[in-house]
Amino acid sequence: MHLECASGRVDGRDLSCREGRLEARHPLLEEGDANITFNIKNNFQSIDLIVNNLKTSFAKLTLAGRREGADWHIGAEASGITFDAARRAFRMLGEPLSGVRLDFRATAGIELSGSGTLPRKLAWGLDFSDLAFADAQERHLGEGVAGRWKGSAHHRDGAWSGTQSLRLNRGALLTPYLYLEPGASPIGVETRFRIDDAFERLRFDQSSYRQEGVLALHGSGDYHLTGGGGLVRLDLESEPSSLAALYQACLAPILGHTLLGEIDLGGSLQASLRLGARGPEALRLTLDEIDLVHRGGAEGLFALRGLEGVLNWDAAEATRESHIAWRGGHLFERIDLGGGRLPLKLSGQHLRMTAPSSLPVLDGALHLDSLEAEWGDGEAHAALSGFLTPISMELLSRAFGWPPMSGQLSGMIPSVRYADGLITVNGTSLMRVFDGEILIKDLVLEDLFRALPALSAEITLKSIDLEALTRTFSFGKITGRLDGTIEGLRLEDWEPVAFDARFATPEGDDSRHRISQRAVDNISNLGGAGVSGALSRSFLRFFEEFRYDRLGIRCRLKNGVCEMGGIESKDRGYYLVKGSGLPRIDIMGFNRQTDWNLLIEKLKQMTQGEAPVIE
C-alpha cells in the first residue's frame, strides 16, 4: 500500500488529511487507487477515516471508520455487484462456485461497532435485482427476482440478538412444491433472532411470512449451527387463508394438467405445523366452507361442497380425533351426492376411519365399514370395504341419459385397495339389476385420473330378465332368462379393446320363452344373415311372437375385430336362436368376423328404434 496526502496537517499528536490518495495492489482490486480522508487525534486515541471509490474486481467500495477511545465503528458500502464479477474474484482466491446457475446485481452495506476487541452492534442491508438461479437438477428455479434484505443485531448477555427482514418485490420462484410470484403480490419475511457467542445455536421467534391476499404465517424455532447443522424445532401457524387464492398463486402453476391441476376451490384453510430434528411432528388443518370442484374434460369428475372439518396428524400416535364433513356434491356432474361425515385418526404414515359411515348417493347410500390408507417413499396404499344400498335404476339411467331402466342397483364391496397407481377390488362385487345378478371379480383400474385410464375385470351375469332388458333398450320383446360371462375384459379410455363374451339361455330355464318379430330381425342382423326381412314376406307375418328353445351369442374381441358365434354350430353357420314348437323359427348367423365399431353402430340403431344398415 502507498499513501499520499496533498493537503493535510500535523499538529503535536494530531494528524489529518483532507485530500489523500491511497494506492494498493491485490488480486481482488481492479484499480488500486482511491480517495481517502482521515483525522487522527491524541496519538490514535481518536480516528475518523473515509475511503471513497475503491474499485475491487467485484464492486465499487466506500469504507468509513471511527474510533473514540475504546469505542469504534466501521462501515462499508458496495455498489455495482454482479455475480460474474464475484465469481471471478472467488476464482482468484481459489474457491470457485459450481453446481448451480446463478446471476444477480446488488448493492450492499454493513456497519459494525464495538468496544476494545469486542463487537457490540451490527447492521446490514442488501438490495438485489435480476436474481436468477437453478440447481443442478433444475428443481429449484428463480428468474428476475428483486428485493431487499436488511437487519440489525446487538451483543448482550453472551449472545447476539436482533431482527431481519426480507422483501421480494418482483420475479418468480419455482420449487417442486410451490410457485411464488412476488411481482403479483410482494412477499415479506420478518424474524427476531438470537445467536450464542459460540455461534452454536440460532433461535428465532415472532417470525412472520406474508404475501398479501395469499398467505400469512407466524412461527418460532431453534437451529444448530455446528456439527453439520440441523433443525431442532420449528413451529408455524397460518392465519385463515383463502384456499382459492393460495391454490391459484402457489399450486396451480406446478400442478399443470394433473387431476389436482384442474380443480376450482373456495373457502378457507388454517394450518399449524411443528417440525423437529427428524422431520414433521404434528400438523393441524382447519377447513371452513370449502368447495372442491373438478373441471377437467367435457365434464368434471367430482365436486364436494361445504367441506369442513379438523385434521389432526401426529408423527407418533394419534391422540386427537379428526373429521371431515360436507353438505353435498356430485360425481360426473350427474350423480348427486348427499352430505356425509368421516371420523378419522391420522398418525405417522397412516390414516384410519374410526367408525362406519354412510355417504348418500342418489336415493341410496355407500356404506363404508372400513377405510385405511398408508403412504411413504413416494408410494401410497389404501383399502376400504362396505356395501352399496339399493339405488333406483330409473334415477341412475336418468342421470346418465340412458333409456329408463327398472329395478335397483346394489352391491357388496368386499375389499378395495389402491397401490402403485392401481385400484384393485378383491373378492367378488355383486350388483342386482333386471331381476338378476351381475358379479364382478378381479376388477383393476389403472391410472384412473390420468390421460389414459384402463380397466380390466371378469364379469358373470346370472338369470337376467330378458323382458326387462329388451324393454329398456327398445330391442324388441324377448322373454326368458339369460346367463353370461365376459372374460378378459379390458377397457382403455373407457372403450373396449379386448374380451371374450358369451351369453345364452341358462340350462334348465323353465321361464316362458317368447321372441317378437322385431327382436328376430335385430338378432338376425347381428349375425349377418338368417331370416331378417323374411317374416314380412310370408305367412309368419301373422304371428307377433314365436317360441324358442334357447338363444345365445358369443363375441371374442381382439384388435378391433369380433369373432362371433352362437349357442351351437350347424353347417357353415351357428345358431343365434334355436326355435321350438310351431311355427318354428331358427335364427342363424354366418359372419364369423365382424368389425367391432360396425357392430356397435348396429346395436345403437336397434336400441334407438331404427332399421340397421346391412352391408
What is the rounded distance in angstroms from the CA atom of residue 558 to the CA atom of residue 128?
64
Indicate whether 398 belongs to any domain.
Answer: no
Q: Note the pLDDT of residue 230.
A: 87
Confidence of residue 62 (pLDDT cuts 50, 70, 90): very high
Indicate whether 158 belongs to any domain.
Answer: no
The residues, any chain, with a CB within 8 Å of residue 166's CB and separated by 6 or more, are 147, 148, 149, 187, 188, 189, 190
75 within 8 A of 64, measured Cβ to Cβ: yes
> Can you tell me the mean pLDDT for 66-78?
94
pLDDT at 389 over 70: yes
> Nearest CA to 152 among 185, 208, 109?
109
Whole-number mean pLDDT of the chain? 86
Dump pLDDT digits (tens) for 225-263.
887 778 999 999 999 999 989 888 888 887 766 666 678
Q: Note the pLDDT of residue 239.
A: 94
Indicate whether 407 belongs to any domain.
Answer: no
Residue that has been written with the C-alpha cell 346370472 in this structure: 462
> Nearest CA to 410 among 439, 382, 383, 384?
439
Dump pLDDT digits (tens) for 399-451.
777 667 767 777 778 788 888 778 888 777 777 788 888 888 889 988 776 66
> Can you tell me the mean pLDDT for 164-170?
96
Indicate whether 572 belongs to any domain.
Answer: yes
Bridge partner list, 564: 555
Q: Which domain holds residue 5?
A: 1-98
pLDDT at 535 over 70: no
> Can you tell me the mean pLDDT for 358-373?
91
Dump pLDDT digits (tens) for 231-240.
999 999 999 9
Bridge partner list, 277: none
Report in angstroms the alpha-carbon separations of 463 from 48, 409, 504, 576, 594.
Answer: 104, 15, 10, 18, 28
Name which of 433-437, 471-475, 598-602 the model is least confident about: 471-475
| Domain edge (last residue) among 45, 76, 98 | 98
Question: Residue 206 is placed in which grid cell?
Answer: 415472532
174 within 8 A of 145, measured Cβ to Cβ: no
- What crossing angle do the helices spanning 517-527 and 596-607 adopt, rounded to 10°? 170
Q: What percent of the chain has pLDDT over 70?
A: 91
> Can you tell me the mean pLDDT for 268-275?
94
DSSP H/E element including 271: strand 263-276
Dump pLDDT digits (tens) for 516-533.
888 888 887 776 554 444
Pairing assessment for the beta strands 340-347 and 302-314 based on DSSP bridges: parallel
pLDDT at 93 over 60: no
What is the rounded distance in angstroms from the CA atom of residue 205 to the CA atom of residue 163?
10
Number of domains in the chain: 2
Confidence of residue 612 (pLDDT cuts 50, 70, 90): very low
DSSP per residue over 176-222, as a string? SS-EE-TTTS-EEEEEEEEEETTS-EEEEEEEEEEETTTEEEEEEEE
Indicate whether 612 belongs to any domain.
Answer: no
What is the rounded distance in angstroms from the CA atom of residue 176 to the CA atom of residue 186?
21
427 within 8 A of 409, measured Cβ to Cβ: no
How much is the pTM?
0.74
Q: b/e per residue, 194-219, with b = 16+ CB within 10 A?
A: bbeeeeeebbbeebebbbeebbbbbb
Question: Residue 35 is placed in which grid cell?
Answer: 480517495
Question: Residue 192 is placed in which grid cell?
Answer: 427476531
Q: Is 530 helix (H, G, I), strand (E, B) or coil?
A: coil
Name which of 96-100, 190-194, 212-216, 253-257 the model is least confident about: 96-100
Instruction: Give the sign of the dihedral formed by CA 455, CA 456, CA 462, CA 464.
Output: positive
Q: Of 111-115, 539-543, 604-608, which has the strongest mean pLDDT? A: 111-115
Report in angstroms the alpha-carbon separations of 330 from 184, 336, 339, 395, 543.
Answer: 34, 4, 11, 14, 48
Q: Is 533 helix (H, G, I), strand (E, B) or coil?
A: coil
pLDDT at 300 over 50: yes
> Nearest CA to 71 among 37, 38, 45?
45
Name which of 19-28, 54-63, 222-231, 291-300 the model is least confident about: 291-300
| Domain edge (last residue) among 64, 98, 132 | 98
Q: Which tops the pLDDT comparison, 593 or 420?
A: 593
DSSP per residue over 423-435, as a string? EEEEEEEEEEETT
| Domain edge (last residue) among 42, 77, 98 | 98
Q: Note the pLDDT of residue 533.
A: 42
Q: Note the pLDDT of residue 528.
A: 54
Q: Within 390-516, where are the H helices?
A: 393-400, 466-472
End-to-end CA distance of the chain: 102
What is the rounded distance in angstroms from the CA atom of residue 187 to the CA atom of residue 271?
19
Bridge partner list, 10: 15
Confidence of residue 613 (pLDDT cuts 50, 70, 90): very low
pLDDT at 536 over 50: no
Indicate whether 7 belongs to any domain.
Answer: yes
